[in-house]
């Protein structure tokens, strides 16, 4: 089975690069205390001020997670109350809360997820894949 998503490049987006993805391929209902969905990226120094990380579920317009560097991450929608918002993926202040740690994932969270990396008015989106 393929990972639940992979990234594609929007040629109009500059200043951000995807370095690696770490995602579970399959999770059996009720078998994991938590899972990590992570996307490591690099952002040009000049673009860091405008960085916003958002995760979406099922192509809905409203995010289920948002993090702006130097602010506390926010869990929303289907992930409200299901994330460890203190989880730190990196010590870099612009990557600190890039990843999601989902606590006790269940089948209600299955579906397609998208990651959005925003730089000012530009956006790099992941192609949706199922999270089973």
Contact call for residues 57 and 77 (beta carbons, < 8 A): yes
The residues facing 93 across adjacent strands are: none
**How many beta carbons lie within 10 A of that of residue 28, not counting itself?**
9
The pLDDT value recorded for residue 44 is 86
pLDDT tens digits along 40-78: 888 888 888 888 888 877 766 788 889 999 999 999 998
- The structure's pTM equals 0.76
Residue 131, helix vs strand vs coil: strand
Distance CA 33, CA 101 (A): 10
The pLDDT value recorded for residue 6 is 32
Greater confidence (13 vs 19) lies with 19
Residue 110 has pLDDT above 80, yes or no: no
Distance CA 73, CA 53 (A): 9
Residue 15 has pLDDT above 70, yes or no: yes
Distance CA 131, CA 27 (A): 8
Residue 89 structure tokens: 């993926």
Indicate the CATH number for domain 29-131: 2.60.40.10
**How many beta carbons lie within 10 A of that of residue 3, not counting itself?**
15
Domain ranges, ordered by start, for the chain: 29-131
Output the CA angle 36-51-91, nearest 5 degrees.
50
């Amino acid at each position: 089975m393929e990972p639940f998503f992979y990234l594609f490049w929007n040629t109009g987006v500059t200043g951000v690069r995807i370095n690696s993805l770490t995602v579970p391929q399959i999770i059996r209902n009720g078998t994991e205390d938590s899972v990590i969905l992570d996307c490591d990226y690099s952002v040009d120094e000049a673009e860091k001020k405008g960085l916003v990380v958002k995760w979406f579920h099922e192509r809905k317009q409203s995010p289920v997670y948002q993090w702006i560097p130097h602010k506390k991450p926010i869990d929303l929608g289907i992930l409200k109350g299901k994330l460890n918002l203190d989880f730190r993926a990196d010590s870099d202040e612009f990557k600190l809360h890039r990843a999601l740690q989902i606590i006790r994932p269940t089948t209600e969270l299955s579906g397609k997820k998208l990651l959005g990396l925003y730089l000012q008015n530009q956006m790099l989106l992941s192609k949706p894949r199922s999270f089973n």
